[in-house]
Structure 1
Amino acid sequence: MRIATAAAFLALAIPAVAYAHHGWSSYDASRPMVVTGPVVSSTYGNPHGSLEIRHEGALWSVVLAPPSRMTARGLSADMIAEGREVTVEGYPRKDGTPEIRAERITAEGKTIELR
């Protein structure tokens, strides 16, 4: 009985976890774009970093790479700290939400590939 209960729980939990983390299919790779502006807030944590930047009067959410990849490629948390100016190249969400999946970022004059 316990095995059946555990199996049922896993069958329900795994899709929920997968759904909670957005997939890349929600971004439009046919419409690359560039946003530039000051960082309003940033996180440098797992499963990936994120930013909010002010671009042309709108607040844009930016999905970055995992911290281990950013560190390995030379992007430190300090480079994307609040108040820093950054340029992000990537793909916008298909549903029009002001969010971009970053492919590369330029901070402190250095361009870092994230994917």
Structure 2
Amino acid sequence: MLKKRCLPLSGLVLLLGASVLLGASARRANSDWDAYDTGERLTIEAPLKRIHYRSAQTEVRVDYQGKEWKVILGASSLLLSRGVIKNDLRPGRPVILVGSPRKDGSAEMRAERLILDGRTLELH
């Protein structure tokens, strides 16, 4: 006679909890992109003004069209996996940033590509 193997109740609760958390983080990631006009591409060629390494993402500031723009590059671990080390991003360093501007018209962009010293790095 074959024995039925059942997931213990505690295992089921853990599995459901993990599913909820993964779903919430996927929805959050999508909602982060919802603020940007992914149908529009903006290219900014400028020296870096400031660099902010945050726990969730790295962002830089550049001057473009008379305004200071905030450009979200992504997680520091993503940049590192693409070959960008901390010293690569420093004030005064010329870069080309390609990405999607915010829908609300504020001076903010989510970068999809970073061109640094002739290297093209995909950030998505």
Report the TM range for the smaller structure's normalisation.
0.7 to 0.9
CA separation in 2, counterparts of 1:38 and 1:46?
24
Q: TM-score, normalised by structure 1?
A: 0.77
Gaps of 5+ in 1: 1-13
Q: TM-score, normalised by structure 2?
A: 0.72
Structure 1 vs Structure 2: percent identity of aligned residues? 31
What's the counterpart of residue 43 of structure 1? Answer: 52
After TM superposition, the runs of 4+ consecutive aligned structure 1 residues lying more than 3 A away are: none
Of 50, 68, 89, the match for 2:77: 68
Which of 1 and 2 has greater Rg? 2
State the alpha-carbon separation in 2 of the partners of residues 57 and 36 from structure 1.
13
Partners in 1 of 2:84 and 2:91 — Cα distance?
14
Structure 1 residue aligned with 2:35? 26
Structure-1 separation of matches of 2:120 and 2:53 = 17
How far did residue 79 of structure 1 move?
Answer: 1.5
Q: Please state if 1:77 is matched with 2:89.
A: no
Q: Any gaps of 5 or more consecutive residues in structure 2?
A: 1-23
| One-letter amino acid of the counterpart of residue 66, structure 1 | A
73, 82, 92: which one pairs with 2:101?
92
User: Alignment RMSD, CA only?
Assistant: 1.8
1:103 paired residue among 80, 89, 112: 112
Q: Classify the secondary structure of the residue corresponding to 2:105.
A: coil
Aligned-partner residue type, residue 51 of structure 1 = V
Deviation at 1:110, TM superposition (A): 1.1
Give the letter aligned to residue 43 of structure 1. H
